[in-house]
Structure 1
């Protein structure tokens, strides 16, 4: 990796077991115990698990029944998104004390570009430490952080010393770090892709680096180009403070599987009402309606239709969803229905003019 380029100072802040930690913070009786947020009942799904529960193998997106089998002492707690958003807002206020270049990924994690920051602090490592200490003081919650020259490496680094820790990958350490990194720890390489890479003799970053661009594109398609660059420390995506919403939707999982289309329409009406509220709150509208159907055997099906005009009212959304529902026969009983709107009018709105300030590619000695 050439030293002659503009090196950014990127921090990835990731809250530790955020939803579960908030619940343990608010209820002292839950501290030190294995808890799962959501997931209660035979149809539930775990939204988050405390570290005490993770020891038993409990993970987010796992069914509540499976989680209970893994950890019989598991305590299920209902989600409280109002409270989680409140904590998230407090955390973001701290981020903005240091930089306006903040890109939230979710309620509990964000990228920060502190190359130039409001504190005039040249050390991204010290900034990350200060931010974590302020989060703890203000909210009582622990955060971990990764610090490096781009978003990809900062994201990977934030996992290394979890929970309640941080890791800095200095510019000169990037290549050695990536070469020895287990391929499963590369952000963007999931379980299925990792297993495919094993078949090609790719177990570490060094193995991945040994493969040519042509080889990776041949065996991994367009993603091969991404893998070729990230293992060389190349990831030019900037921190985007204003992320344009691409879609908006809502879904419901049912306590019992349903087969009656009449019952489905009743559920879809409630979902359409919720979407209308969200559209009005966000002041957006969309042209493409997508109906999501998850069957009792957990197979997933989506059906979409794009209209020539923007939708915002529940009546039109519902009518389109109804048309999609009757578009094809149901292959099984249904456990989940969802509606989403994409092709939003946010994509038609004029974008801010780019800054005239140029990034001059010079060799910089950065203090991380």
Structure 2
């Protein structure tokens, strides 16, 4: 059997934690918690319902929300669609203006373009040189008809961290709603929705050691009457998202968020240590640079650009699982829109990789990856000829 590559693509997806798998499996078989939580009044359905509501509490507790503010979805992409389209359509009248940025996830950018086609004006803010969107930039872009601002908490390619409380206050002062895509931030950043001026926030389980196919949207009090459902057929989830609830996935997401809450400080300290070990060893490579803010960032995600003629990414493909772009761009094999927005050209973007660390990364993984990257740099002259 071929040796598996080192895994440095946690930002794309995390493996499901074994503890999460255990509670997930317990909701599948006939002897387990398999009932329909949405409509069954018998004991099987009630047991499933209790587990779903416990999971809702677990998700809410990690982010400072109340359980009733958490709406289950299939993932952050659906949550983003529900937030943007739901707010736009609930207004009733066409037109209006929303603000987002050039470096959002494609789930936001593609949805914003759909709204443009429907007559909504959209401003795409340009990030600063460090890959951040400032509260001032948002303030300057606000218009009388701005009804929604949507920005990510943590950039999925750079790992940069926007000042969401400051931005949210600007948005709230102007009367608009504020949506935040927190798929890359939950469990890595301390989120307090009881205090933050945020109206909608998207989450996805598979970025936090839960399964794919399950996520949630936080719907705050200012947004509850200003959001239109996108999936109809039974009025589940307070009428915002119809469909039979997937107990096994929901319980798994709750478990994953609870584990993240329990180990938040300890896990962050470990990741910081591993990040510093990685950067220290890579600093000996001439011309390598870190993209994005060196300070306003999570430690988990690193975007590294190597100097011209000093890196052969093909030499790493079999030995390290990394990303040459974000997962949302990889299918089209086009240069990262995030890097292009930061001023990279296509050639510079081709010399950029994203390394993302996680719960199961070890010091040995770091040391081996560094040696492999240095070897890829040593083989670069032949690559670029």
Choose between structure 1 and 2: higher strand proportion: 1
Structure of larger gyration radius: 1
TM-score (norm 2): 0.24
The one of the two structures with greater contact order (alpha-carbon pairs below 8 A, sep at least 6) is 2
TM-score (norm 1): 0.24
